[in-house]
């Protein structure tokens, strides 16, 4: 690679160490997390390891607690590669490794359960732990799990192998983990995207930022723009149709609404102009209006007008598989299989959309509980634990919630405990919020486990510990937000 920045070259050195470790392994078990970033992480690692001719098996896990780690000690594979999780459990993983239960490699971007350099123990992890946070690269916005695996994949190259085609999956992972900002991907994520462009697997262009340009008919594309809050268009079906009918553009063809991708460049431009005029005349903020346009990441190997063409829609498809117990389907799509896998995924996507809409409906009806420095809701068993975090992220900032406070969401799990998901905002993080720490401390306080990123984190806690957990959140948040303001 041609990158010169010192943090990145340190990350590359670590990737080289991990790659050498892998290349010396007789066989590898790759185990990954079940979201879009986890699936693309596994897909990148899987392909790079296969191309390096190392025998491999790929598996997924919803969580990585004591029972899951214990189960992994039974593996026949010489090396276990943890992708998109593992850093938050590194203490436990080191314990197992020292007992000779398995040889681990961790390729993750979540916050390590022990801070780098906080104790001498961490020296042991140096050889096999690849994580941007160890090199002062932000794991919440600058490099995803899939991006971290991409660095490993590049380090595994030898001879004529060129793994840059995997950059498109790394971008899908970063987008799935909400790492893009108004100006698109930043930091190492951006460098990876550029490698994808150079390799011809990605196309980056400034375009309408709305979700669904490939697969939603124009009125739906506009109607579902709730994050932009455009008066009389967002969440307004008849208003969206009225807006389109007033345009001097053919927005229909053969009696059907067109899709954004079907429009000519000049028609797209005309619609954006009208949208901006409409938004200005109704007093929408300039910040919101300027976010209508952003870099859009298209996978050039996928057909235009399909759900896999644009990184945003691709990542939703993956979430719809993995979070409903079918990570195998999502992985299969990432590995290039279509037909059956894609049909299955689309069916799951319909269910996923329905569940998200129902979850948001529930929140609109019941609202959140407002505390002094945070807000929360308890979905009981009305929202699946695997999507309650997505719902929390979607409702944060909507009517009835406070965009200046982090949100915490509880849901019961199939395993008989509670899942807690939390989401913050970039401004809160700047003011000292670290949800990974909040979730780890509060979960440990009630006998559970938690961690993640500063801006988004999760925990699993025993039933009926909500009250104690919430009290601990309050205390930890006070310290974080107080320390930064003093």
Question: Which parts of this chain interact with Mn ion (CB under 5 A)?
Answer: 37, 84, 145, 177
User: Closest separation between CB of residue 81 and Mn ion, Å?
Assistant: 15
Name the strand (E) or helix (H) holding 421: strand 418-423
Q: How far apart are CA 33 and CA 316, in angstroms?
A: 15
Indicate the DSSP class of residue 126. G
| Alpha-carbon span 283 to 474, nearest angstrom | 36
CA–CA dist 373, 18 (Å, integer) = 42
**Of residues 145 and 393, the one with the C-beta less far from Mn ion:** 145
8 A C-beta contact, residue 387 and residue 352: yes
If the CB atoms of residues 65 and 462 are measured against Mn ion, the closer one turns out to be 65
- Backbone phi and psi for residue 296, each to the nearest 5 degrees, phi listed first: -115, 135
Residue 177 or 298: which CB sits closer to Mn ion?
Answer: 177
Q: Are 93 and 106 in contact (CB under 8 A)?
A: yes
**In whole angstroms, how close is the CB of 109 to Mn ion at the nearest point?**
6
Nearer to Mn ion, 217 or 330 (CB): 330
Comparing CB distances to Mn ion, the nearer of 125 and 177 is 177
Shortest spacing between CB 1 and Mn ion, in angstroms: 22
Q: Give the residue among 12, 80, 54, 31 at the shortest CA–CA distance from 161.
A: 54
Nearest-approach distance from CB 38 to Mn ion, in angstroms: 6
Give just the sign of the alpha carbon dihedral 451, 454, 457, 462.
Answer: positive
For Mn ion, which is the closer residue by CB, 37 or 302?
37
Q: 79 vs 179, which CB is nearer to Mn ion?
A: 179
In the bound state, the residue with its beta carbon closest to Mn ion is 37
CA torsion 423-429-432-438 (nearest 10°) is 20
- Positive or negative torsion for Cα 367, 369, 370, 375: negative
278-281's contacts with Cβ under 8 Å and 24+ in sequence apart are: 278/230, 278/233, 278/243, 279/230, 279/231
Minimum CB–partner distance for residue 86 and Mn ion (Å):
11
To the nearest whole angstrom, how small is the minimum distance from the Cβ of residue 405 to Mn ion? 24
C-beta of 323: minimal distance to Mn ion in Å?
A: 13
79-83, strands of its sheet edge to edge: 56-61, 28-33, 79-83, 103-107, 129-130
Q: Give whichever of 363 and 455 is closer to Mn ion, judged by the CB atom.
A: 455
- Residues in Cβ contact with 409 at an 8 Å cutoff, skipping those fewer than 6 apart: 376, 377, 378, 379, 383, 388, 389, 391, 392, 420, 421, 422
Minimum Å gap between C-beta 88 and Mn ion is 11
424 to 178, 266, 380, 382, 433: CA distances (angstroms): 12, 38, 22, 23, 8
- If the CB atoms of residues 141 and 465 are measured against Mn ion, the closer one turns out to be 141
How far apart are CB 285 and Mn ion at their closest, in Å? 31
């Amino acid at each position: 690679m041609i990158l010169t920045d010192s943090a990145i070259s340190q990350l590359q050195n670590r990737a080289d160490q991990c790659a050498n470790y892998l290349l010396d392994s007789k066989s590898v078990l790759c185990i990954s997390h079940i979201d879009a970033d986890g699936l693309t992480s596994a897909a990148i690692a899987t392909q790079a390891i296969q191309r390096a001719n190392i025998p491999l098996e790929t598996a997924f896990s919803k969580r990585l607690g004591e029972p899951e780690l214990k189960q992994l000690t039974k593996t026949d594979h010489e090396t276990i590669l943890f992708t998109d999780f593992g850093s938050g459990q590194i203490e436990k993983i080191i314990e197992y490794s020292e007992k000779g239960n398995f040889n681990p490699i961790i390729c993750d971007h979540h916050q390590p359960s022990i801070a780098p350099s906080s104790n001498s123990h961490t020296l042991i992890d140096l050889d096999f732990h690849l994580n941007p946070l160890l090199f002062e690269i932000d794991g919440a916005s600058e490099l995803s799990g899939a991006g971290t695996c991409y660095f490993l994949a590049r380090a595994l190259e030898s001879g004529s192998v060129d793994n840059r085609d995997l950059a498109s999956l790394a971008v899908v992972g970063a987008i799935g983990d909400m790492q893009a900002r108004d100006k698109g991907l930043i930091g190492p994520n951006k460098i990876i995207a550029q490698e994808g462009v150079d390799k011809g697997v990605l196309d980056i262009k400034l375009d309408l930022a709305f979700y669904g340009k490939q697969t939603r008919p124009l009125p739906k594309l506009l109607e579902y723009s709730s994050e932009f809050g455009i008066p009389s268009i967002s969440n307004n079906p008849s208003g969206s149709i009225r807006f389109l009918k007033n345009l001097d553009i053919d927005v229909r063809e053969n009696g059907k609404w067109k899709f954004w991708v079907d429009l000519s460049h000049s028609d797209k431009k005309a619609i954006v102009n009208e949208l901006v005029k409409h938004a200005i005349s109704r007093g929408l903020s300039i910040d919101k209006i300027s976010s209508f346009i952003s870099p859009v990441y298209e996978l050039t190997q996928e057909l235009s007008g399909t759900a896999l063409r644009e990184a945003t829609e691709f990542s939703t498809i993956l979430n719809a598989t993995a979070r409903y117990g079918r990570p195998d389907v999502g992985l299969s799509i990432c590995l290039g299989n279509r037909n059956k896998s894609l049909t299955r995924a689309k069916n799951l996507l319909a269910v996923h959309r329905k569940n998200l809409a129902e979850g948001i409906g529930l929140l609109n009806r019941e609202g959140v509980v407002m505390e002094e420095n945070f807000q929360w809701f308890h979905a009981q068993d009305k929202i699946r634990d695997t999507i309650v975090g997505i719902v929390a992220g979607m409702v944060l900032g909507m009517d009835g919630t406070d965009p200046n406070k982090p949100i915490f969401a509880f849901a019961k799990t199939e395993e008989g405990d509670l899942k807690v998901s939390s989401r913050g905002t970039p401004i809160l993080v700047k003011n000292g919020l670290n949800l990974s720490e909040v979730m780890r401390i509060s979960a440990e306080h009630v006998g559970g486990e938690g961690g993640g990123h500063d801006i988004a984190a999760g925990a699993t806690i025993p039933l009926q510990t909500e009250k104690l957990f919430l009290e601990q959140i309050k205390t930890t948040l006070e310290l974080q937000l107080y320390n930064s303001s003093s």
